[in-house]
Amino acid sequence: MEIIIQPDSQQGSQVAARIVARLVREKPHAVIGFATGNTPLRLYKNLVRMHREEALDFSHVTTFNLDEYVGVPAAHPSSFHSYMWAHLFSQLDIPNGQIHIPDGMTADIPATCRKYEEAIKSAGGIDVQILGIGTNGHLGFNEPTSSFASRTRIKTLTEQTRLDAAAAFGGQENVPSQVITMGLGTILDSRMCLLLAFGKKKARAIALTVEGSLTASVPSTVLQLHPRAVLVLDKDAASDLKMADYYTWVYDHKPDWQKS
């Protein structure tokens, strides 16, 4: 893993945006996996700014989102479809046909999941998968005990995950119990995993992810197996890392050509 510790979420998001921008400039037909939630919002604002002010061209990019709630229409204000259009897609030049988000209203979930996997494969695989992390270490909606080999499928949410999403739905009782999510195996197939974590409440999950034992009980530890997992953290999220000083030293002493 590469651990990048920044003073705050604003600077961390700028680092992450530079990583994504470099990919898009070097590979205009890049395939990007997107995440939702509060964590990537500043990253997306930076990408929109780069598109407007620096002519960062997304017109040939293909996208795949990690997940979507089952039974929630795309037009619902709390759907991930709505989130992505509000915060990113409506402000970039990605053609609609190149945007992929799981269909939470599908009548045949297994078939939809198989087609999603096939679409990723047909696109050439995901170049960079943007990730957040749950307080219990979930990636996407791969809850604890998810198989490291899992593919896109339906998952039932834990009560903690539903509680974390309560604000978006006006109360925990309104949060759907099930989602369609990329599997951990799908995420591992990405050429780069770019995980962002900000705030003290993510510190324990980050410490377990980076310095803990490999275990399905903490799904995010699967990133220990990935050849190019980059974690961008603020100081609060990194506060439980025993080797934080070392990670900072390594990043500060990287050759210029290797820095984002």
What percent of the chain lies above the pLDDT cut of 90?
Answer: 96
- pLDDT, tens digit (0-9, with 9 covering 90-100), for 42-54: 999 999 999 999 9
> What pLDDT digit, counting tens, does each position of 163-194 carry?
989 998 999 999 999 999 999 999 999 999 99
Q: Among the residues of 123-228, which ranges form H helices? A: 159-164, 166-169, 184-188, 203-211
pLDDT confidence tier of residue 258, bands split at 50, 70 and 90: confident
Residue 76 is a catalytic residue? no
Instruction: Specify whether 136 is catalytic.
Output: yes
Q: What number is the average pLDDT over the span 113-132?
A: 98
51, 81, 100, 138: the active-site residue: 138
Question: Rounded CA gap, 21 and 179, in Å?
Answer: 30
The partner residues of 64 in beta bridges, in order of sequence, read 33, 100
- Options 46, 65, 136, 142, the catalytic residue: 136
CB 50 within 8 A of CB 57: no
Which tens digit of pLDDT belongs to each residue from 21-30? 999 999 999 9
Question: Is residue 67 flagged as an active site residue?
Answer: yes
Q: Which of 68, 103, 127, 143 is catalytic?
A: 143
In tens, the pLDDT along 63-114 reads: 999 999 999 999 999 999 999 999 999 999 999 999 999 999 999 999 999 9
Give mean pLDDT, residues 219-237: 98
What is the model's pLDDT at position 260? 64
| 9-26 and 41-53 helices, crossing angle to 10° | 50
Q: What is the pTM of this model?
A: 0.95
Output the average pLDDT for the chain.
Answer: 96
Known catalytic membership, residue 2: no
Helix, strand, coil shares of the chain as percentages rounded to 5?
40, 15, 40
Quick one: average pLDDT of 113-126?
Answer: 98
Domains of the chain: 2-258 (3.40.50.1360)
91: Cβ–Cβ under 8 A, 6 or more apart, which residues? Answer: 48, 51, 52
- pLDDT of 257: 78
